[in-house]
Structure 1
């Protein structure tokens, strides 16, 4: 191997190590993402992880007296959704610097980065198959290979 080739290989290896170190750093940052949001009235606080899964929920002492159960549930949902949106934004901000300039971090996270709207649309629904007429059978157990 000539010294030029050796230098090129060393440069490629150094680039690979830098990229790998950067990826490890981004992975650590992503793993540490969580978001906490408190409802406007201060009675409910929700914490979620980077994927929006609820990891903590706190109620002020008077939250149960301030709301009826259905209202409290609604406040919990709205507060959790706000925390999930905040965690998603943190995820996008963490990913953006390591992505190509024209890549949308939100689309990448949602798995739609390079898909067209037609590819994302759900397939058309097919009508359900017609039911078998079980009245013509001696027993439903015949379908299981058993005999009477």
Structure 2
């Protein structure tokens, strides 16, 4: 009877350790965030470990330096970079408790035990929430031949 009781106590101790490890990982996941800035420093984005945009900062210069569509594209790219950084933090936190052969990115995507043909996508990037490579907008090309859209708008308002 004492052997049985000792086994139960050992199992309960293992359970408590596993539960505490899980709680620790949950606390770590709650603090994961990614932060990225655009190459010119006009846009900064912060994304939570769950992929939620939690902060977006646009410098005043951003409106003068970029046309609206260029600024929108820059915001999208910067948010994507912050999201990728947050995802990496999530993967690292999960790796501590996953078996060595488990891909944390596939686990988060819900495809850990599936092959690409089983979930109907040829490109794993789409499953992992990553955007396909986008065509880069060349800011300098258009900016050299035109004045800032904001300056033009201000000139038009003053003329009225």
TM-score range, shorter chain: 0.7 to 0.9
Taking the aligned partners of 2:84 and 2:94, their CA distance within structure 1 comes to 15
Alpha-carbon distance between aligned partners in 1 of 2:7 and 2:96, rounded to the nearest angstrom: 26
Flag the structure with more relative contact order, 1 or 2, with Cα contacts below 8 A and sequence separation at least 6: 2
Stretches of structure 2 that go unaligned for 5 or more consecutive residues are 122-160
Residue in structure 2 matched with residue 87 of structure 1 by the alignment: 86
Larger Rg: 1
TM-score (ref. length: structure 2): 0.73
Indicate the SS of the match to 2:39: coil
Give me the CA root mean square deviation. 1.0
Q: Secondary structure at the match of 1:35?
A: strand
Q: Which runs of 5+ in 1 are unaligned?
A: 123-148
Return the alpha-carbon distance in structure 2 between the equivalents of residues 73 and 114 of structure 1: 37
- Larger helix proportion of the pair: 2
**Runs of 4+ in structure 1 over 2 Å off:** none
Query: Could you tell me how far apart the structure 1 residues matched to 2:111 and 2:64 are?
Result: 44
- Which whole-Å CA distance do the structure 2 matches of 1:75 and 1:69 have between them? 10
Aligned length: 121
What displacement does 1:10 show? 0.4
